[in-house]
Amino acid sequence: MANLDYPSSVMSREKMLKNNLLEMVPKIKKPAKSLGNFRKLPRELLYTVFDYIEVESLGQFCLTSHAFNYLIRCYLVRESSRRRFYFETKDLEETFEGCDQFSAWGKLFKAATAILDHQKCCSFVTYYFIKDLNIINWFGWNRCFMTICGNWKFEDRALFLHMVLEVTDLYKSIDTVLLEDAGKYPLLEMKVRNALRFGFLDGPFQKDLEVGFWISAILNTQETIERKTRLFILMYGPLQDIDGTSSPNILVIIHWRLLVDRNIESPNICANILRPISHAFDCLIQTSAIERYCWNEDQIFDLLEEISNDRLLFITALLVADSNGQTERASPSDE
């Protein structure tokens, strides 16, 4: 009988991912001597033992021998392991105390796939969140993602991004909101914004160069400067609550017309509204050291010009940050 909880497309992708994972786990006919006393235990009992071992320790076991690495990969593709992951991470919010289980599981995924290529490592991770069709804790997944791929080559990180966008249908969601008028699907726009910002751009330990790379990789998923501009503002544009007033309330949507309908007179208001956009441009400028994902001055100018020319997003001020971190309003152009 078909599982009614998930669309058939998701079920087929999940089956495909699991088949790929099983191909990564060779069958061990005889227990290896490198397992020590663990080789005396039946396989199912060994998996039960793993259930009671802390995730950090399992990651260390992965690095002791090929045999342990194989066994723990077998353990990770089991449904019980995925349930364990869910229960250990479901209550973690943006802030957390003590051990961060998202980071701990990220270390385990990284250790378990240390002898595999990065694409197969991505398959392990996507297998764990493909069932969650409404991911809301992107803060936690960011810590898991960056633990896994934080020191990868930029090309491999871009592959990781592609797999996440593909498996979670974010590619489809991005295409939907960019094809329609700005603001037509406000909740879907916020879903995309939260996934991209909290999942890749707003991590607690990310440097500006890394943020610049992720912005570049995300924008490069679009072909035209118009679509890149819409996606950029979708990620960094100002917000408003449902009632139409600026608020830090959780129930917010993108305020596409704020910079048109409202005069920005106070430097503080200007800073609050435009600081994220200004910081994003600063991060993009720093990508000059990344060849394939470099945004040169001409490309950044084209993006800024497209934003300025958009009737919905006309910007009359820019932030200029001084060496002390203070902000002031730049003089508007003669136009």
CA distance 35 to 65: 8
**Averaged pLDDT for residues 223-242:** 88
Cβ atoms 219, 228 nearer than 8 A: yes
Residue 239 pairs in a beta bridge with 254
Instruction: Please report the pLDDT score of residue 244 as a whole number.
Output: 47
Residue type, 148: I
DSSP states of 28-89: -SS--GGGGGGGGS-HHHHHHHHHTS-HHHHHHHHTT-HHHHHHHHHHHTSHHHHHHHHHHH
pLDDT digits (tens, 9 = 90+) for 174-197: 999 999 888 888 889 999 999 999
Tokens of 21: 């994972």
pLDDT digits (tens, 9 = 90+) for 151-167: 899 999 999 999 888 88
Instruction: Please report the pLDDT score of residue 32 as a whole number.
Output: 55
DSSP states of 222-254: SSSHHHHHHHHHHHHS-EEETTSS----SSEEE
Instruction: Please report the pLDDT score of residue 193 as a whole number.
Output: 93
pLDDT digits (tens, 9 = 90+) for 244-291: 444 444 577 887 777 666 666 667 777 777 888 889 999 999 998 888
Collect all residues with Cβ–Cβ distance below 8 Å to 49 and sequence separation of at least 6.
38, 41
Tokens of 72: 């723990």
**Averaged pLDDT for residues 81-86:** 86
CA 115 to chain centre: 24
